Amino acid sequence: MLSAAAFLLGDDVQRFAVRFTVAFAIAYGAWLLGNWAHFAAVTPAEEAKFGISWSFRLTNEGGFIVALLAGLVIANFFPAFAAWLKAAIRPELYIKIAIVILGAFIAVTVAGKLTLASSVMLRGVAAIVEAYLIYWPVVYLVARKGFGFSREWSAPLASGVSICGVAAAIATGGAIRARPQVPVLVSSLVVIFAVIEVLILPIIAQAFMAHEPLVAAAWMGLAVKTDGAAIAAGGITQSLIEAKAAAEGVHYQSGWILSVTATVKVFIDIFIGVWAFILAYVWTNYVNPRPGAPKAKAVEIWERFPKFILGFIVTFAIALALSLGAGTDASGRLTGAVGEVNLLRVIFFVLTFFSIGVMSDFRRLWQDGLGKLAAVYIVSLFGFVIWVGFVISWLFFAGIKPPLAS
Amino acid sequence: MAKSDLTDELKAPAEPLLPIEKKLIGWSLGLGLVLLAVLLLLNWIVPLP
């Protein structure tokens, strides 16, 4: 299937197949290692079950972190191997397949609690406002006035920090007619900082927000950039918080934390096309009007719309309709079927983590010039975006708890 | 883009903010704050069941 996707994307299928096989073997091996009981067992009962006396209690989602670390080792210590693997390193493709599958999982999870789910979705609107209308202008202002960046650099940088990382930086670069290298360099920074966020924020969430699981979930969606990293952070946060709650005797119905993170992220993604069009209109008509140069057209909204969202909506709608129309027996079978498909989602998550790691060559940060770009990113992300994200998540999601497992 | 090109570019004198950029920043922030206030009000008026 992936070879077919590679063919449709214009890749050399044979080269992709060979390198993907190697990448998959390493990533899945790392995932298996992360599921070793000494890493993954959480409760004393699990430790007793596996006959061990200690564990890092990382849950089985710790396997994602091991996959990420494997990728980081390759990127930073074996750059020639990382370059060889490059044809199979496609985190955006893998996470988008995972998100489409996630649509069915979310539908089955929320089918019995539609009131709560619709309320959560309504609160997701705040994320759109926050990303586009609060984060973006502030980061753009910081880049332009605080660091003296040109407009060509500041706009993709603001979109990368504020919206959803790589896709937004590239869409904005195209919209303002920036040189292709600009969004690419911004994207490399986005990926590197997303890795740092994935490693840190879920642990902070578990330590300080275990009693507000959906605040933590929304925070991951708002603070962690790139779809892959955000949803992966949601998955890790879910495992860590559910494990901590379970240790206190509270058993949440699994899936809600990840669902909220994914909802927030998808809501933000929906408007990339609209925002890119607004920027294109402003740039081609006012900021950088060139006689004879093509102006922004409304069709760009559709061209820049992330099409995987359609896949997400379709799987969500089909699974929700089937869940609501099914009897008890059929509903149980449907949940089982979605659970089977969910294993595929996990595999694509593992591939996403590994790919993000392979793309994160930290030596880039030491390159001349990138340090200044990184400084804007650090100031904006750690000085503003994650804190405002936390406050807004708290205002809209505090007190809302996932349903308890029956 | 070569490293030296990027360094030169980033060391170039800052471009002043154009009036349209100020408008874009101002309107975005203003609209964002108003919409957030409206959503918060709705959140308060229609609490979760």
Question: pLDDT tens-digit profile of A259-284?
Answer: 899 888 888 888 888 898 899 989 98
- Is residue A138 assigned to a domain? yes
pLDDT bin (cut points 50, 70, 90) of residue A9 is: confident
Contacts of A372 in chain B (CB under 8 A): 10
Asked if residue A198 lies in contact with residue A360, where contact means CB atoms within 8 angstroms, the answer is: no
Instruction: Tell me the pLDDT tens digit for each residue of B4-49.
Output: 566 667 667 778 899 999 999 999 999 999 999 999 888 888 766 5
Domain, as residue range, for A250: 90-397
State both tokens at A257: 């934390």
The ipTM, to two decimals, is: 0.89
Give, in order, the Cα–Cα distances in Å from A291 to each of A143, A279, A286, A294, B21. Answer: 28, 18, 12, 9, 20
Q: What is the mean pLDDT of residues A383-405?
A: 89
pLDDT bin (cut points 50, 70, 90) of residue B1 is: low
State both tokens at A322: 């089937």
Number of domains observed in the structure of chain A: 1
Position A39, amino acid: F
Residues contacting A262, CB < 8 A, separation 6+: A99, A102, A106, A221, A231, A234
What is the reported pLDDT for A374? 85
In this structure, the number of other CB atoms found within 10 A of the CB of residue A208 comes to: 12
Contacts of B18 in chain A (CB under 8 A): 286-287
Q: What is the mean pLDDT of residues A222-250?
A: 87
Secondary structure of residue A265 in the 3-state scheme: helix
Contacts of B16 in chain A (CB under 8 A): none
Residue A399, judged by CB atoms within 10 A of its CB (0-12, 13-18, 19+), counts as exposed
- Is residue A58 assigned to a domain? no
E strands, A253-401, are: none
State both tokens at A185: 């360099």
- Is residue A144 assigned to a domain? yes
Count of H-run helices and E-run strands, chain B: 2, 0
pLDDT bin (cut points 50, 70, 90) of residue A117 is: confident
CA distance A213 to A239: 11
Secondary structure of residue A136 in the 3-state scheme: helix
Which of these, A355, A367, A363, A373, lies nearest to A95 by C-alpha position? Answer: A355
CA distance A41 to A194: 27
Q: What is the mean pLDDT of residues A210-238?
A: 89
Nearest chain A alpha carbon to B28: A133
C-alpha torsion sign, points A252, A110, A390, A394 = negative
CA distance B17 to B44: 38
- Is residue A64 assigned to a domain? no
Q: Which candidate in B15, B33, B45 is best for mutational testing of the A interface (most A CBs within 10 A)?
A: B15
* Nearest by CB: A136 against B3, B9, B28: B28
What is the reported pLDDT for A389? 92
DSSP label of A53: S
pLDDT bin (cut points 50, 70, 90) of residue A345 is: confident
Contact flag B12-A286 (C-beta cutoff 8 Å): no
Q: List residues in chain B touching A: CB distance below 8 A.
A: 1, 3-4, 6-7, 9-10, 12-15, 17-18, 20-21, 24-26, 28-29, 31-33, 35-36, 39-40, 42-43, 48-49
- Is residue A320 assigned to a domain? yes
Nearest chain B alpha carbon to A367: B3
Secondary structure of residue A73 in the 3-state scheme: helix
- Is residue A351 assigned to a domain? yes
- Is residue A45 assigned to a domain? no
**Residue B8, CA atoms < 13 Å, CB-side half-sphere:** 5
- Is residue A33 assigned to a domain? no
**Which residue stretches of A271-327 are H helix?**
272-282, 299-304, 308-325
Q: What is the mean pLDDT of residues A309-338?
A: 83
CA distance A16 to A87: 6
In this structure, the number of other CB atoms found within 10 A of the CB of residue A364 comes to: 16
State both tokens at A166: 């790589």
Buried b (16+ CB within 10 A) or exposed e, A139-174: bbbbbbeebbbbbbbbbbbbbbbbbbbbbbbbbbbb
Give, in order, the Cα–Cα distances in Å from A250 to each of A106, A174, A210, A234. Answer: 21, 48, 11, 19
* pTM score, whole prediction: 0.79
pLDDT at A186 over 60: yes
